[in-house]
Structure 1
């Protein structure tokens, strides 16, 4: 087999491939063994038709497409390895020649990773992040914990306030006519949560139990239901139940209830230490991000949209997984947020492009600095994942190998090594 790669524009080129006639003959044999199992010829059982009779009746050409399907994937894979290119999208394949006794010739228009011209990436100077913790930060964390351990108390009377938990009935009307999806009974709503369209929750505040009120709001212009987007509507709302947080006192008893400490001062000291550790880790991440951003800004490259689209797909899947952990799904999210898939993808566009750009630069730095991932590195990562998921490392290895993820793991580890290299070779302002 021979392969010839020629670049035609930016990160697009044509791969010309020729597979020898012997391989074509073997592929035709495999195709015949596959097809003959499905044909009916009088006088012969299925799968027992002689090759000569089959070709005389159906023609050798009837095997060509199956033979091409057998040859093409392996030939394309070997060709990109021989050409040393890194495709990022499905190729556009044009078969130029295929026939019995002839070489198989095809051209593939291939989009590959863009060239990256590195700028300065060693000795980058970034400000040192502050990891000190103030008394105000400790008190804010203490108040957050106080809110978490608050008891919800059912009230006999109102009025409702922002932060209260309510149960409401509601029905929405557009030009005096009820609209689909605009009705709910005994719906649980925390005022101030932002669950409803802007302005709704603020108008529920002030209602007394059993009181009814007409609430006027306007749907966002980008709301997924086109018949409601940008429209002014009226919701008839009734407050059924009202609960308010009863905050525990911040004293020694509180410290005993929520921690292993006997006094509030001891608990606050422990909180301060934990906040400092967390802030130090956040500072480390912020420093890494700043260094990578600086190295990326100094590089020259054009990011293909196909790579951005692929990253958006991954981000959308991750977002959907996080929603499911919270008992939600994308459909509900679109309903509550007023967005649709197109709007959410557009929102992810800039972040996805930045991620792709950063990864491309980091991969090029790893290449320039000969940073490699060893089998030992893979084993360490598998052991870390084993502890995280509480599953044997060998089991995880088999799962990743079966799904083709070990190579992705190696790529991720190489990128991490590039980040560490940048950090190790940077300076603090």
Structure 2
């Protein structure tokens, strides 16, 4: 098989492939034989029509079947023989099938960039503390105390700070409902400060079965630009008011929680949990900083097809903020363009990161075995209450299986780099 490669640009290659006539003609004869056995042509018994007659009716179909059989095999052979690391799908631009001549193909494809990484061992990172303060322990204890508070409905008094109320609500802007502005059996703890400023305060004093109109001004700096700075009126129905009774923080409280001998044992467990959480968070931050330094030290333009694929994936999985029904088309259009530009930049960065980490894995011979991928699929199957074999088969039929392998490999590379970075 003859192969000629032309460099179109930094990533695009055009391959001119010639499959020998003896191979192409033999396979084409098989195709016509199969067609002959399956079709009936007037004036001929099934399977007895001459080749020339078949060509009159089925030439195009036969050529398509021939290409479907020979092109993938020829491309794989050409890529391997010429050590081309392709990205995405190849494109058959032209082909020529002539009797007595080689089958000629023109294929275009994008290849992975050949990059030379700067020294990635010994990256300097600022150390982050893992000390656990008494204040952090006290805050965690208070949270546990509130989570385990006893609650009971109260009808004899109005809601006050610290109470838990259950409401149904509908929000409107200029008298019109908006997407995401409605909720049922919604729990609000008055004074907790988790709701938009002013929401909890206006519900102080309500009683069961009260209807209350709550008016708020959505923060101007809200990430939800469709609602930012707008006045929203919520119509709330109070379905229940519950008094929260906090239990004393003592040895009995700790024993009731679980396997703790006393309150000090609970505090020790909290201290250890906070320390581990900080270490895990620091590891995550270290990895992010390592990636940022790798991107900074190794600038290059990634293959457009990979960026476009990642961009489409991000766009497909992007969940836009709720937008009011009266938002103008102009606002929506400009916001959409802004979001798409941000997603495109994120896609570009992700692809560059993936290529760099893959290159390090290649240089350091960091690999992922099938059993490691299977273990991850088992975890996902158990989490989703699905059959492992069925889920694995589903992943194998798509790109998901290799995507999991890539994710595990990237994590391995980052852990490898963590062993070599320098804390300053």
Alignment check: 8 A CA contact 2:287 2:418 kept: yes
Provide the secondary structure at the position in 1 that maps to 2:88.
Answer: coil
Residue 4 of structure 1 pairs with residue 4 of structure 2: yes
Change (3 A) 1:353 1:142: farther
Matched, 1:428 2:398: no
Partner of 1:323: none
Residue in structure 2 matched with residue 22 of structure 1 by the alignment: 22
Q: Is the 8 A contact 2:179 2:322 kept in 1?
A: no
Does the 8 A contact of 1:24 with 1:104 survive in 2? yes
2-side partners of 1:185 and 1:423: how far apart?
A: 45
Whether the 8 Å contact between 1:30 and 1:67 is mirrored in structure 2 is no
Structure 2 distance, partners of 1:79, 1:194, is 64
What TM-score do you get using the length of structure 2 for normalisation?
Answer: 0.75
- Equivalent position to 1:364, from 347, 359, 365: 359
- Aligned position for 2:302: 303
Residue in 1 aligned with 2:256? 257
Could you tell which deviates more after superposition, 284-293 or 132-141? 284-293
Name the residue aligned to 1:279: 278
1:201–1:244 CA distance, 2 compared to 1 (3 A): farther
Q: Secondary structure at the match of 1:250?
A: coil
Q: How does 1:168-317 map to 2 (within 5 A)?
A: 168-170=168-170, 172=172, 174=174, 178-179=176-177, 186-190=184-188, 201=199, 205-206=203-204, 208-209=206-207, 210-213=210-213, 215=215, 234-243=233-242, 245-312=244-311
Correspondence 1:134 to 2:133: yes
The alpha-carbon distance between structure 1 residues 232 and 405, as it changes in their structure 2 partners (threshold 3 A), is: closer
| TM superposition score normalised by structure 1 | 0.75
Question: Which residue of the other structure, out of 359, 363, 367, is the alignment partner of 1:373?
Answer: 367
In 1, Cα distance between the equivalents of 2:342 and 2:246? 38
- Pair 1:149–1:119, CA change in 2 (3 A): same
Match of 2:82 in 1: 83
Moved more, 285-294 or 355-364: 285-294
| Alpha-carbon distance in structure 2 between the residues aligned to 1:40 and 1:219 | 74
- 8 Å Cα contact 2:165-2:238 kept in structure 1: no
Root-mean-square deviation (CA), in Å? Answer: 4.4
Bigger mean CA deviation after superposition, 103-112 or 146-155: 146-155
Contact 1:222-1:230 at 8 Å conserved across structures: no
Shift of 1:74: 2.6
The alpha carbon displacement at 1:299 in A equals: 0.9
Note the alpha carbon deviations across 1:87-137, whole angstroms, 9 max, x for none. 323334311412333322222232222332422322222223322222122
Partner Cα separation in structure 1 for residue 315 and residue 152 of structure 2? 38
Q: Map Cα deviations across residues 235-276 of structure 1 (whole Å, 9 max, x no partner).
A: 444434334544333222221121201211111012212322
Give the gaps of 5 or more residues in structure 2.
none
Contact residue 155 and residue 243 of structure 1 kept, 8 A:
yes
Asked whether the equivalents of residues 94 and 106 of structure 2 are also in contact (C-alpha less than 8 Å), the reply is yes
Do the aligned partners of 1:371 and 1:418 also contact (CA within 8 Å) in 2? no
Distance 1:278 1:28, change over 3 A: same
Contact 1:6/1:13 (CA < 8 Å) preserved in 2?
yes
CA distance in 2, matches of 1:163, 1:80: 68
The alignment partner of 1:213 has SS state of strand
Q: 1:73 is matched with which residue?
A: 72
- SS of structure 2 residue aligned to 1:260: coil
Q: Counterparts of 1:381 and 1:61 in 2: how far apart (Å)?
A: 43
CA distance 1:180–1:25, change in 2 (3 Å):
same
Match of 1:326 in 2: none
> Are the structure 2 counterparts of residues 163 and 9 from structure 1 closer, same or farther at C-alpha, using a change threshold of 3 Å?
farther
Provide the rounded CA distance (Å) in 1 between the counterparts of 2:256 and 2:357: 48
Q: Provide closer, same or farther for how the CA distance between residues 205 and 123 of structure 1 changes in structure 2, counting only shifts above 3 A.
A: same
CA deviation map 1:55-112 (0-9, x unaligned): 2642634522232233223322332223322332333431141233332222223222
